[in-house]
Chain A
Amino acid sequence: MSSRNPAVEALGVAVAARVPVLLWGAPGTGKTSAIRAMAEAMGLPCETVIASIREPSDFAGLPIVVGAEVRFAPPAWARRLAEAGHGLLFLDELSTAPPAVQAALLRVVLERAVGDLTLPDEVAVVAAANPPEQAADGWDLSAPLANRLCHLAWQTDPRSVADGLAGGWTAPVVPVLPDGWEAEEILSRGLVAAFLHVRPGLACVPPSDAAAAGRGWPSPRTWEMAARLMAAAGAAGTGDDARSALIRGAVGDGAGVEFLAWLVEMDLPDPERVLADPASFRLPERGDRAYAALAAIAAAVATDPTPERWTAGWQVLGLAADAAPDVAAVAARVLARCRPDGTALPAEIHLFAPVLRDAGLLPG
């Protein structure tokens, strides 16, 4: 139970999907050791680069004049990773890196380009940072750099600290994604696209205040990142909490929560389709979803109360009455108020009399 820390799980998925990820957490909470342990468990070479003590030329390449041209020579850690063909590039202390170094990091993080050298696709980029208010000399992450990373909050749960002290720390597990998982990315991209059709305002929202600039924010690039992470999380079979952390980490809390809420709504049956074929209705298991589904159907009938639709609505409520009499009764009260003239009372209405009477909502 305690080992299923959503942030740890999400880190594993992001590394497996090769999406650059940034862990935010207070100093001393084990971000660095978790990442090193993860690389060791995977048997990958891990190159740690402390961004705050590096110069821009360490990431953009050291300029060297060779004949008539300038080459940008990559540092040794980049060569080692390129030669290994895979591995983990760990950028520590990202938020204390001076702005010029952050600017130089832009291409490293997203395109894995270090000077004239391009790191292989199999190299995963992981970064760690202390929130600026906790680091003595921290700067807020520049918005372009923040937009290239999936931000995960590294929380320390007192119980897992206790477990770790007593029984040793467990390394985050990087899930093995099945071959062809990227095919699922098409599906999740479709979902993101459908959401952005409904909420075009969320396609690109650059942060307005200084504090929000250093975190995830919605842009075409981060939405693409969110779709990839969602597909990877699905393929890896991760928990809901981790999936939600990944989506919110990519596009920011505000847009991420809206998208997740929309996904939940997408699961509900379409009221018009149910009214056309009442027998096909399946009551959602969770009470609040059942309520949302039935309320939507009742509202759909109320907006256009033809006798057929009204009767179909009652048939649906009849199907739900056994499993959720209270939920169905709330919808029944809506239907009862919009009875079309001359329509016969449906048989289902009697199913709700006892519960309505018990609740004191019927006389007698």
Chain B
Amino acid sequence: MTVAEHGIGDLAAARLWAATTFPYLATGVFGAQVIAEPGSGTVSVDESWRMRADPELTAQWSPAQLGSVLIHHVCHLLRTHGERAQGAGVRPDEARRWVRAADAEINDDLVPAGLDLPGRPVLPRDLGAEDDLLAEQYFDGIRHASQAQSGAGAGAGDRPGQRAGGGLGGESQDRSAPSGAADTAGSWLDCGSGADGMPRPGDAPGGLSCWQAELLRRQVAQEVIAHARQAGTVPAGLLRWAEETLVPKVNWRVLLAAELRRAVAEVAGAVDYSYRRPSRRSAAVSEFSQVLLPALRRPVPEVAVVCDTSGSMTEDLLAMVLAEVEGLLRALGLARQVRVLACDTAVAPAQRVSSARQVQLVGGGGTDMGAGIAAAAALRPRPAVTVVLTDGYTPWPAAPPKGMRVVVGLLGGQAPEAPPWTRSVRVTGLAPG
């Protein structure tokens, strides 16, 4: 571990600078192994938390600059950019754009916090985007911009978004992968597979295994949160990352599907065995015994969907959730039984629609889901499961409707809680997967 072993001068000072300037990332900085790789001309990182640095390149930087590059690379690993690149469907020829998007995600709050990268760092405004977005969102923006460009005959498409301004001349000085002037051909430095998930020839086995990396990530996240509680000087984006790492977001689609399946299964008794009719096997075994065996029964429950159509609802989200619900019910073999009710105010009668496309947000206040649920209960045949899709700003009945299970989809992150007698799922927009 000595500096001499690494062959990189100032590494100790750089790490010390990084650990003191960003104390909440210290564990991450010390957790990454740094290996000297003369002649590579870059500082890159792989997904096993190993950094390879060209001593000649780093010799040109001050300890603070090298420390900043270490922090930047650690953030690539903390935010699992390599893995997310695969999730975002980044093709090898798009890796550079992905890295720029990933850089913007890191830099948008760390550069204001004192990150001193050599060259000019990529910031969201260089990509024509706002701060505080995710790499996936920045990447989509770049993709669209480049498609628009190539559509207009710009060709190559390797020069997405706007050129980073700044106009720094010293190309060899410019560490341009995460830094500015990024498109100047030849000066692009490789951040490594830890940033874009594309395997490099030098990535040998070793380093930290997946779960060790996962534990290290959680450890850093805990320290970020602890630091924010004590000193309160953690950049907001990093804090959000830490919170999401420790309390992972649940995909609402999975949750909604599970709740719906459970409600239907509980009501229907699922595909289950009942003594209502004797099993056909009884005949086969009756030579030996007089035992009555149960047979497989599948009662098919009625399902109703009640949609809140008040003006505060988001149309896209509602359409998406409705489509999801219809798909789920179809998978359960219940598509024909579904009736969709659009419900707005307490006075207006619930209207019956046959598909998600017909639901219109009529606007106006005074939503009452109680009326919607009552309307669903009045349907004949009576539905056994009712799915309510609402933004939550509505009065609810005090008691559950008799003989009917209610699954609530709460649309939007700010929606107030649904009553405890429902099974509620929070739908928070476009979840991955």
- Measured CB to CB, the residues of A under 8 A from B are 1, 6, 55-57, 62-65, 70, 98-100, 132-133, 136-140, 209-211, 213-214, 239-241, 244-245, 257, 260-261, 264, 285-288, 290-292, 295, 322-327, 329-330, 333, 355-356, 358-361
How many whole Å from B219's CB to the nearest CB in chain A? 7
- Report the bound CA distance from A239 to B210 in whole Å: 11
Q: What residue in chain B is nearest A325 (Cβ atoms)?
A: B12
Q: How far is the CB of B307 from chain A (nearest CB, A)?
A: 22
Query: Can you report 28 residue pairs joining A to B where beta carbons are below 8 Å apart?
Result: A133-B254, A137-B331, A137-B332, A137-B333, A140-B262, A209-B250, A210-B255, A210-B261, A210-B423, A213-B258, A240-B209, A244-B211, A257-B214, A261-B218, A286-B31, A287-B32, A288-B219, A290-B30, A324-B30, A325-B16, A326-B12, A327-B15, A327-B30, A355-B12, A356-B16, A358-B13, A359-B20, A359-B67
Contacts of B272 on A, CB cut-off 8 Å? 98-100
Q: Are B258 and A210 in contact (CB under 8 A)?
A: yes
Indicate whether A64 sits within 8 Å of B31 (C-beta atoms), given known contacts A132-B257, A211-B255, A361-B17.
no
Assembled-state Cα–Cα distance A133/B67 (Å): 45
Do A136 and B331 touch across chains, with their CB atoms under 8 A apart? yes
Q: Does B119 belong to the interface (CB within 8 Å)?
A: no
Contact (Cβ within 8 A) B218 A257? yes
Scoring B residues 202 to 238 as 1 if CB is less than 8 Å from chain A, else 0, what string do you get? 0001000111101110110000000000000000000
CA distance A86 to B243 in the complex (A): 48
1/0 per residue, CB under 8 A from A, across B15-52: the answer is 11101100000111011110000000000000000000
**Residue B347 lies at the interface, judged by CB distance under 8 Å to chain A:** no
**Judging by beta carbons under 8 Å apart, are A326 and B19 in contact?**
yes
**Residues of A with C-beta under 8 A to B15:** 326-327
Q: Quick one: which of B16, B250, B253, B281 contacts A359, CB cutoff 8 A?
A: B16
Q: A64–B218 contact, CB under 8 A?
A: no
Task: Using CB atoms and an 8 Å cutoff, list the residues of chain B in contact with chain A.
Answer: 1-3, 10-17, 19-20, 26-28, 30-33, 63-64, 67, 205, 209-212, 214-216, 218-219, 250, 253-255, 257-259, 261-262, 265, 270-273, 279, 281, 285, 288-291, 293-294, 296, 331-333, 423
Kindly identify which residue among A63, A287, A361 contacts B291, using a CB–CB cutoff of 8 Å.
Answer: A63
* A139 and B270 contacting across the interface, CB-CB below 8 Å: yes
The CA of A214 and the CA of B261, in the complex, are separated in Å by: 12
List residues of chain A with CB within 8 A of the CB of B219.
261, 288
CA–CA, A344 and B68, complex, Å: 36
Q: A6-B210, A56-B294, A358-B16 are in contact. List 6 more A-B contacts (CB 8 A).
A: A62-B281, A133-B253, A210-B262, A290-B30, A323-B1, A329-B16
Contact A64 B296 (CB under 8 A): no
**Distance (whole angstroms) from the CB of A359 to the closest CB of chain B:** 4
Q: Tell me which residues across on chain A come within 8 A of B19, comparing CB atoms.
A: 291, 326, 330
A339 to B383, CA, bound (A): 74
Cβ–Cβ contact B3 & A325, under 8 A? yes
Contact: B16 with A330, CB < 8 Å?
yes
A209, B31: Cβ atoms closer than 8 Å: no
For B272, the closest partner residue in chain A by CB is: A100
Contact yes or no, A261 B12, CB < 8 A: no
A-B interface, 10 closest residue pairs, ranked by CB to CB distance from nearest: A288-B31, A358-B13, A287-B30, A211-B258, A210-B258, A244-B211, A326-B12, A326-B15, A291-B30, A359-B13
Measured CA separation A358–B12 after assembly (Å):
9
CB proximity of B426 to chain A, nearest CB, Å: 11
Is B257's CB under 8 angstroms from A358's CB? no
Q: Which secondary structure dominates chain B's binding surface?
A: helix
- CA distance in complex: A65, B292 (Å): 11
Task: Say yes or no: B63 contacts A132, CB within 8 Å.
Answer: no
Among the listed B67, B290, B296, which residue makes an inter-chain contact with A55, where contact means beta carbons less than 8 Å apart? B296
Q: Tell me if A330 and B26 are in contact (CB < 8 A).
A: yes
Cα separation A137 to B265 with both chains bound (whole Å): 11
Contact in complex: B1, A355 (CB < 8 Å): no
- Return chain A residues, CB-CB under 8 Å to B258: 132, 140, 209-211, 213-214
Cα separation A224 to B257 with both chains bound (whole Å):
32
Q: Are A330 and B20 touching (Cβ within 8 A)?
A: yes
Residue in B31, B265, B293 whose beta carbon sits within 8 Å of that of A287 in the complex: B31
Once the chains bind, are B293 and A240 in contact (CB under 8 Å)? no
Tell me the complex Cα distance, A13–B368, Å: 56
User: In the bound complex, what is the Cα–Cα distance between A52 and B272 (angstroms)?
Assistant: 11
CB-CB under 8 A from A359, the residues of chain B are 13-14, 16-17, 20, 63-64, 67
A105 to B285 CA separation, bound complex (whole angstroms): 22
Do the beta carbons of A261 and B215 come within 8 Å of each other?
yes
Residues of B within 8 A of A140 (CB): 258, 261-262
Q: A64-B289, A264-B215 are in contact. Are A360 and B270 (CB under 8 A)?
A: no
Query: How far apart are the CA atoms of A1 and B17 in the complex, in Å?
Result: 37
Chain B residues with CB under 8 A of A260: 211, 215
Contact between chains at A292 and B209 (CB < 8 Å) = no
In the bound assembly, the distance between CA atoms of A196 and B33 in angstroms comes to: 33
> Closest residue of chain B to A101, judged by CB?
B273
Q: Complex Cα distance A62/B279, Å? A: 12
Cβ A288 vs Cβ B216 within 8 A: yes
In the complex, the answer to whether B215 meets A98 with C-beta atoms within 8 Å is no
Residue of B nearest to A135 (CB): B331
Chain B proximity of A222: nearest CB distance (Å): 18
Which of A133, A286, A326 has the most chain B CB within a 10 Å cutoff? A326
**Chain A positions within 8 Å of B216 at CB level:** 288
CA distance A257 to B254 in the complex (A): 22
Contact B289 A326 (CB under 8 A): no
CB nearest to B214 among chain A residues: A257
Cα of A241 to Cα of B216 in the assembled complex, Å: 14
The smallest beta-carbon distance between A245 and chain B, in angstroms, is: 8
User: Taking CB as reference atom, which chain A residue is nearest B255?
Assistant: A211
A322 to B10, Cβ gap below 8 A? Answer: no
Residue of B with least CB distance to A330:
B19
Q: By the criterion CB–CB under 8 Å, are B211 and A240 in contact?
A: yes
Q: Contacts A211-B258, A261-B218 hold; do A358 and B10 have CB atoms under 8 A apart? A: yes
Contact in complex: A288, B261 (CB < 8 Å): no
Min Cβ gap B66→A in Å is 10
